[in-house]
Structure 1
């Protein structure tokens, strides 16, 4: 293989904030980056060596883009996998592998994979019509999820009782038991082509109830060592079963009985790992690069208590982005602001994130709450 730090050309499918932060790390290794994205104003547009405007879902566009690079990776799963299959057969390295992306694109296949590999998850059924939904026999309340194209809280619907069926999704979906959980947690695991694996410590997540997006992330977790070890072992089992090369983010529920149930997985850098940039010895973005380049995986230990806050566009504002309160929060030590280069804001759009680090967990949390109350994305 060509040396990743010199003549290897890495293509990224998707030019959003995950790609942007991946490029910021790749610059340290002299990696030549080419990006494909349909948005001419995508966050990656000014950071990569070459930016190509085009559809991620179009076979010819993805195939032709892939023929110009040596290796492809993704920052979003919604890509044309048929093109990736063909590129892989012609010798282009594609990580994560197309078969992994294909499985994870479909939440029904993903849940079936969990079941077949004894991965603990909520009881579920696949549904292809409203009639099947009505006749499912599932006890209310339950969760309905679109099998395809749901992301960032979209494509998820709570069916509280029979009256909610009128507004349920009509496209193929899964329904699953509503888990009475104690906490939502996540583990990011990396695996390279040699089969080496490494996990980042467990993090705890709090969600914005209106947008259904991660709003507040706490690292490290204060859960018992036994529970954390179990969560990390589950993440490793999934990565090994998939034989994935790259990162895999595993979102889980810890129920009130102490059981861990896997919710969903994502085969790429993930929102639940942004705090690793300042909070861990190696960031999730560097770890992803190490994994796909088949290099030794980095040390993932926590350096400090780290709290991550998503900067979401304020409700009621749409237009050119303004960051109200930025100067005030930057006065506080241990506050690290990451803006994503998006010119326009709209309600609940991810515009950036802030990581707060402190040797004292409670001080980190109190500063994070201050930042959350002070820093607003308006127009």
Structure 2
């Protein structure tokens, strides 16, 4: 099939910032794109060839959209999987597959998948309703503290809470969920695996993630991770096993814990480009977005090595600010060497909303990390 400057159409479910960054690559290669999103303000709208307004969870909207494309991919997991399954049955190429998405969409199913495939992960208990947790605690089936996770629709720190005492259960939504043993970890790591339809795989270097203590969102992504070579090898081996077990095509971001004993446990995965790979736009030979396009179109995978060390700082809405966005001191960070801001195009800010990111590159990861701190302290995302 001819993909470039042809009548081939790539469909993308979701019009957010990940889709927008995918579109930088499709425009580079003149691949025709069609995007569906519920919001007319979606960041993708300015960059795709065709934009359709529609609900990603609505069967008919997703099915009818899929009928008009040649290959269908996602930039967000919360989409109607039944529609994807029907499209696949009718012969459409869909990556990630509906089967993979169905498993990943539900955190309980995802955890059971790891158990079934002998993939190391933290011990957990599954509950049909959060109200059952108190009984389990009083019967000794569950111990405090633990990490509560909503089985569905959690993202960016939403739907996740550390439960340290009984009172912490009071405001949890009464939904299907898991209670996961709290892992005593040294580091939170991630590995992005690229796998094309021919089964060829490549991994990006292991990155280290530093999280905001309150928002439970990534604040910094550091590449390369500051860990021992043996731990790196282990992390890459586990990530590859996860990708192969899913028979995944495209990018799979595998989030990992490095325990105090240097064991590697899988936390969760995302079957698409991911926040932990944004550094690759400036720092890698092949950025994660180009790699995703290569993988889903069955093209040879690009070189995943880094040219320089890269740190990514998330730009999130400041606390106490809701409304029309203002980026304060952006000129000050542009004066710093090796600093590149990415603004996602969301006109409205709110506390902790992801509004953009900044990449800092340097030959020396320590210098890059110090500069990242300076960037974080300088730029502010506020409102009028």
The TM-score with structure 2 as length reference comes to 0.97
Q: Hey, what does 1:109 align to over in structure 2?
A: 109
Distance 1:336 1:237 in 2: 34
Q: Hey, what does 2:134 align to over in structure 1?
A: 134
Deviations, residues 303-339 of structure 1 (Å, cap 9, x unaligned)? 1111100000111111111110000110111001100
Distance 2:371 2:188 in 1: 22
Q: How much has 1:163 moved relative to structure 2?
A: 2.5
Q: For structure 2, which runs of at least 5 residues remain unmatched after alignment?
A: none
1:58 maps onto 2:58 in alignment:
yes
Distance 2:252 2:187 in 1: 20
Q: Hey, what does 2:10 align to over in structure 1?
A: 10
Aligned to 2:43, the other structure's residue is in SS state coil
Distance 2:212 2:3 in 1: 43
Deviations, residues 151-171 of structure 1 (Å, cap 9, x unaligned)? 111001111022322223310
Q: Hey, what does 1:69 align to over in structure 2?
A: 69
1:202 maps onto 2:222 in alignment:
no
Distance 2:41 2:316 in 1: 18
Distance 2:268 2:31 in 1: 31
Q: Hey, what does 1:185 align to over in structure 2?
A: 189
CA contact (8 A) 1:245 1:292 kept: yes
Deviations, residues 27-57 of structure 1 (Å, cap 9, x unaligned)? 1111101100001001001110011111000
Q: How much has 1:2 moved relative to structure 2?
A: 4.0
Q: Hey, what does 1:294 align to over in structure 2?
A: 298
1:120 maps onto 2:120 in alignment:
yes
CA contact (8 A) 1:34 1:52 kept: yes
CA contact (8 A) 1:130 1:170 kept: yes
Deviations, residues 186-242 of structure 1 (Å, cap 9, x unaligned)? 000011111000000000000111211111111001211111011111111111111
Q: Hey, what does 1:233 align to over in structure 2?
A: 237
1:160 maps onto 2:185 in alignment:
no
Q: RMSD of aligned C-alpha atoms? A: 1.0
CA contact (8 A) 2:130 2:177 kept: no
Q: How much has 1:128 moved relative to structure 2?
A: 1.1
Q: Hey, what does 1:267 align to over in structure 2?
A: 271
Distance 1:269 1:333 in 2: 27
Distance 1:283 1:367 in 2: 22
CA contact (8 A) 2:14 2:37 kept: yes
Deviations, residues 271-325 of structure 1 (Å, cap 9, x unaligned)? 0000000111110101100100101111100111111000001111111111100
Distance 1:293 1:61 in 2: 24
CA spacing shift, 1:178–1:259, aligned 2, 3 Å: same
Distance 2:326 2:256 in 1: 34
1:175 maps onto 2:179 in alignment:
yes
1:34 maps onto 2:30 in alignment:
no
CA contact (8 A) 1:4 1:293 kept: no
The TM-score with structure 1 as length reference comes to 0.98
Distance 2:55 2:265 in 1: 35
Distance 1:127 1:5 in 2: 51
For residue 338 of structure 2, the aligned residue among 317, 334, 342 is: 334
CA spacing shift, 1:305–1:57, aligned 2, 3 Å: same
Aligned to 2:109, the other structure's residue is in SS state helix
Distance 2:48 2:341 in 1: 21
Q: How much has 1:65 moved relative to structure 2?
A: 0.6
Q: How much has 1:5 moved relative to structure 2?
A: 5.0
CA contact (8 A) 2:130 2:176 kept: no
Distance 1:155 1:191 in 2: 29
For residue 306 of structure 1, the aligned residue among 283, 304, 310 is: 310
Q: Hey, what does 2:83 align to over in structure 1?
A: 83
